[in-house]
Amino acid sequence: MKKNQVPQDDGSLAKKNISELCYAVDENGRYTTVHSTGWEAKTLALNESLQLIEERIADTGHAVLAGKVSPIAYYMELHRMDVALLASYVGIHRWFVKRHFHPKRFLKLKEKTLQKYADVFGITIEQLKAPVPNPNT
C-alpha cells in the first residue's frame, strides 16, 4: 500500500485520539511508517470478534450459574485465555485445569490451588468461590 493510500477512517482509535503505526511504500518505493486513525474493515472485524467474546463470557457465566462448569471456566473466558494459557500461568498441567472446570472437583480444590487461580485472575479466593457476576451485563 502506498503512503497516501493508508486508511484514515473514523474507527475506534480515532475516537480516543490514538493512531496506529502502519508500514507503507513512500514516493521512492521504500518502506516507511505512517500513522492511521483507523480502517473501517478492520474496525468492523474487531467489533464482531469482541461481540463474540462477550457472548462466550455470558454463555460461560450462565453455565456456571446452572452448575455445569466451575467459576474457573468463567474467569478464564473473562480474561480471554484458553486452557493452555491458563495452565501455563497457574503452573498446572492442562489436563488438571480441564478437570477443575467440573463443579464437584472445583469444590474439593485445596486453598493453595485456588490461590494460584485467584492470583492469575487478580481476584481473591472468596471472589473465585462466589457466584459469578450477572452474565447479562
- Domains present along the chain, CATH in parentheses: 3-38 (no CATH), 52-129 (1.10.260.40)
**According to the model, what pLDDT value does residue 136 have?**
66
State the CB neighbour count (10 A cutoff) for residue 6. 17
Rounded to a whole number of angstroms, the distance between the first and last alpha carbons of the chain is 41
| pLDDT tens column, 58-102 | 999 999 999 999 999 999 999 999 999 999 999 999 999 999 999
Query: Chain-centre distance of CA 19, in angstroms?
Result: 22
Least confident of 2-6, 15-19, 112-116, 130-134: 15-19
| pLDDT tens column, 14-52 | 667 777 888 888 888 889 888 887 777 777 888 899 899
- SS3 label, residue 9: coil
State the CB neighbour count (10 A cutoff) for residue 34. 19
